[in-house]
Amino acid sequence: MHESLLRKLIVGHFVALIALGLAWELWLAPLRPGGSMLALKVLPLVLALPGLLRGHIRTYQWWSMIVLIYLMEGLVRGPSDAGLSAVLGWIEALIAAAAFLIILYYVRDRRLQAIRPSN
C-alpha cells in the first residue's frame, strides 16, 4: 500500500478517536451530566498529530503501543457500560484496533524500505 495513503488512514483514525472521545465525554454519554474531565483523554492524541502529519517514524512507533490504551478502554467500557456508552466503547475499540494494525503495517513497510538496497 502506498505510504502516503497509510499515513492518511492513520491520521484519519486518530482524528476519529479525538472526535469520538470529545463527543462521548462531553455530549453523548458523559460520566457526569454536563460533561466529564475524562474528555482530556484525547489530549495525547492531539499532541501526537503533528508528528504523525510530518511522518516521523518514531511517533508512529510510540503510538503503536500507546493506541492500545484506547483499545483497552473500548474493550472495557463496551461490555461493562450500558446504552449508548457501551456502543461508543465498541466503536472506540474498533477504531483503535484498526489504527494499531495500520500503524504496524506502516512502520514495517518503512523499516523494509530502509534496509532494502537501492537499485
Tens-digit pLDDT profile for residues 67-98: 999 999 999 999 999 999 999 999 999 999 99
Q: What's the pLDDT tens digit per position in 7-21?
A: 999 999 999 999 999
> How distant is the alpha carbon of residue 63 from its chain centre?
8
Q: Is residue 119 predicted with pLDDT exceeding 60? A: no
Q: Provide the whole-model pTM.
A: 0.90
DSSP 56-108: -HHHHHHHHHHHHHHHHHHHHHHHHS-THHHHHHHHHHHHHHHHHHHHHHHHH
> What whole-number distance in Å separates Cα of residue 6 and Cα of residue 105?
8
Are the C-beta atoms of 104 and 50 separated by less than 8 Å? no
**Pick from 26-35, 93-102, 110-119: least confident:** 110-119
